[in-house]
Structure 1
Amino acid sequence: MNRLKKRWNISSNWQLASILIVFAITGFSALQVAKPFLILIGIPETFQPHWLYRVLRLVLIFPFYQVLLVFIGFLFGQFTFFWNFEKKMLNRMKLGFIANFVDEKILKK
């Protein structure tokens, strides 16, 4: 636990617990949101070929996870931590321009 606290630059066990809870809720929520979204756009679970349905669902889970991570982090009072986490993740995937756009146009930093 101390390694995570040091790596993430947090001081309290409560903050660490809330961050871990946010990760858990976000992962589960992203899985749950992707399925009805596919149905909404006309791709039911019985879609054939089934492997394509699974691939589409996995592709959808990723952006839902990114948005939900920041939103649920905000609800738990950890917006700054999760926004910085998101920016670092996007930069590593060479998508940092998205974070820069949000910082400049939406958050106005």
Structure 2
Amino acid sequence: MSETWTFVCAAGELLPGELKTVFDEVTGTPILVLNHDGDLYALEDKCSHEDFELSSGHFDPADASIECVLHGARFDVRDGRALCAPAYSPVAKFPVRLELGGVWTRDDRD
């Protein structure tokens, strides 16, 4: 588990409907940070069906989902749960905080 928060971007650089990716500086985990209607969410940037980055997929702000381009698995950006086959397991969800005018996240898994 990383106790070190990773800087994502300035708070004004991640607008509703947009996403950014970073790597947790301690664990090396790729993290996808999404802005859904002004609320920020962070997920591991890896489809639970197959090891492929979710950030290359389509983020649909209307239904708060992201779709993996590889096989069409969709995930709820708010909690990481799988919404359809071929994915059945959720993707890891991480904390996000706004501090010092920036967006920060970290891999908080044990």
Name the TM-score class by shorter chain: under 0.3
**TM-score of the pair, normalised by structure 2:** 0.20
> Which has the larger share of helix?
1
Larger RCO, structure (CA 8 Å, separation 6 or more): 2
